[in-house]
Structure 1
Amino acid sequence: MQDKKERRRNDKEKEKKKIGRRRKTDERRGRKNEYSGRRRIEDERRRGEKKAEDNEDRDEKEYKEEKKKDPMTLIRKVEKGENEDDEKEEEEEDKAKDEGCFGD
């Protein structure tokens, strides 16, 4: 009777030790389930920062790829924006000339 109780007690203690060892090795290996709250939050924040950096890198790569494909398209986009402003100014000057504001 006592032998059975002692065996059960020993078995339970051994199981506790196994669980403790598993938990410690999991922490050393960085498994997510066994994290403490603060550590998990810090790691998630780091991952978020990493994702943001990855997105910036991806944007830069896309820009470089587009530039490699056809560098003139980027230049055209910029020139087009400037030309639209110049055209508007010219139209305003033409209207003003038609109205006779300039002494021409």
Structure 2
Amino acid sequence: MTGFETFRRPAPESDRPEITVGDGDTLRLNEASIRALRTPHAVELQFDPEVPAIALRSVHPDQSPDAFDVDFLPEGGARVNAEEFLRHYGLAFSEPRRLPAYMDKGVLRVDVGEVAR
């Protein structure tokens, strides 16, 4: 069989890390994001202005004075109150957007260039 390729179904949405940005100054993590960060109790928030991209690094709450608490939600997923972080970097989102995230050198990264204003 030459010229044919097998269609590979994409992973189910629940298996892909995603972060929702712009939801009331919070970052919302789906279950796959929580697993990728190894169920963090706190995260450090990082920003790369050249891309621009946001990164979350799992930390112990006592490990870093810059840690943000991770609040687990009863309906699943988690949220991080990122109001101060978003304001500091001038990140505003016209509407909530669910964006793909991926692990990159020990941090969960989400590129926000196309949705940040």
Same fold (TM over 0.5): no
Decide which structure has greater helix share. Answer: 1
Structure possessing the higher radius of gyration over alpha carbons? 1
TM-score by length of 2: 0.19
Tell me: higher relative CO, structure 1 or 2? Use CA pairs within 8 A at least 6 residues apart.
2
